[in-house]
Amino acid sequence: MTENKNNPLLCNPETGVCEIPETEMNNNYKTESIRDKPLKLIYFTDPICSSCWGIEPQLRKLKLEYENILDIEYHMGGLLPDWSYNSGGISKPSDVAHHWDEVSVYYDMPIDGDVWLEDPLNSSYPPSIAFKAAEMQDKDKAIDFLRILREMVFLKKKNITKWEHITMAAEETGLDVIKLKTDFEGDAKKFFEDDLKLARDYGVRGFPTIFIHNKSGEKDMIYGTKPYSLFEAAILMLDPSAVKKEYSKNQEVLFSKYNSLTAREFSELSGISHNESEKYLDELTDNGILEKLMTKNGSLWIKRSSDKI
């Protein structure tokens, strides 16, 4: 999995990066102004980036502990424009299937690669543009929308380039679907192009790439799927006075913040082991508190809506 340097879908689990070909990292980027909070976190990602799915547990914990001092921005990086790649053993969508199954085990996050066999995507651009359209309505809902799109493609084997699936994710998030469609076909394309330009300006060469700035212009970069301790170290380096927020690790509180969690995510947020998390989440499922979505490479637990109890 390390031989290919050209195909962006052949992510390297050891570095935790889905890399864009022929891009040099630029460390001389300009620091954008920070408004209200002491630190700004700029996250370059892509809806079908498996390494970005692998970093969800760390990001979710970061938001619980440090969101009060972090202004977080999501930017789309354009991982897969089309299938004009032919290297490293991946030249067509079906070649990705086994790779996704492998990185699922490595990141301990459920991913079913069979979407590349059953209903393959031809690009990551449509869901990226849809995210920008969602941001035009509500930035918080857009992040929830992106999460649902990822669950669809990684766990439910849905081709999220198709409007029917984008619509379903939008409805579940509470977005205005008609406006989303209008913006998707209009200004959202420009905003996506702006994201691609910003990624180039920052010299982003793979995903996930995270930049953290403070108001003095100091910065740090986290490249790839890294452990939570590295995120915390970056924050404390840029803001030594930062104090993390204590949060309740009770399942009811966690599932009120995040509607769905994997065992790896619940383990990261609750501080208990993966095996303990899985056993506990299964007990909650048996008691009718959660629903369980099972895949061949792991499960997702979802808070049951009141009308189903």
What tokens does 116 get?
């590349």
Q: How far apart are CA 54 and CA 17, in angstroms?
A: 10
Q: How far apart are CA 247 and CA 152, in angstroms?
A: 29
Please check the confidence at residue 308 and state whether its pLDDT lies above 70. Answer: no
What is the tally of structural domains in the chain?
2
In the predicted model, what is the mean pLDDT of residues 137-150?
98
DSSP strands (E only) in the chain = 18-19, 39-45, 70-76, 206-207, 209-214, 219-223, 260-262, 290-295, 298-303
Instruction: Answer yes or no: do 257 and 185 share one domain.
Output: no
Q: How far apart are CA 143 and CA 201, in angstroms?
A: 23
Instruction: Answer yes or no: do 192 and 255 share one domain.
Output: no
What pLDDT was estimated at residue 291? 98
Q: How many CB atoms lie within 10 A of CB 208?
A: 27
Residue 277 belongs to domain with CATH number: 1.10.10.10
pLDDT in tens, 260-300: 999 999 999 999 999 999 999 999 999 999 999 999 999 99
Structural domain range at position 82: 35-207
Which residue type is seen at 52?
C
Residue 105 belongs to a domain: yes
What pLDDT was estimated at residue 21? 58
Please check the confidence at residue 150 and state whether its pLDDT lies above 70. Answer: yes
Instruction: Answer yes or no: do 202 and 55 share one domain.
Output: yes
Residue 269 belongs to a domain: yes
Q: What global pTM score does this model have?
A: 0.90
Residue 3 belongs to a domain: no
Instruction: Answer yes or no: do 159 and 49 share one domain.
Output: yes
Instruction: Answer yes or no: do 256 and 168 share one domain.
Output: no
Residue 309 belongs to a domain: no
Instruction: Answer yes or no: do 63 and 200 share one domain.
Output: yes
Domain termination residue (choose one: 151, 174, 207): 207
Instruction: Answer yes or no: do 68 and 190 share one domain.
Output: yes
Closest CA to 170 of 130, 207, 199: 130
Instruction: Answer yes or no: do 189 and 261 share one domain.
Output: no
Please check the confidence at residue 131 and state whether its pLDDT lies above 90. Answer: yes
Instruction: Answer yes or no: do 58 and 187 share one domain.
Output: yes
Residue 62 belongs to a domain: yes
pLDDT in tens, 47-69: 999 999 999 999 999 999 999 99
Residue 218 belongs to a domain: no
Instruction: Answer yes or no: do 142 and 277 share one domain.
Output: no
Which tops the pLDDT comparison, 77 or 32?
77
Residue 21 belongs to a domain: no
Please check the confidence at residue 99 and state whether its pLDDT lies above 80. Answer: yes
pLDDT in tens, 100-109: 999 999 999 9
SS3 content of the chain, % helix, strand, coil (to 5): 45, 15, 40
Residue 78 belongs to a domain: yes
Residue 120 belongs to domain with CATH number: 3.40.30.10
Give 11's pLDDT tier (boundaries 50, 70, 90): confident
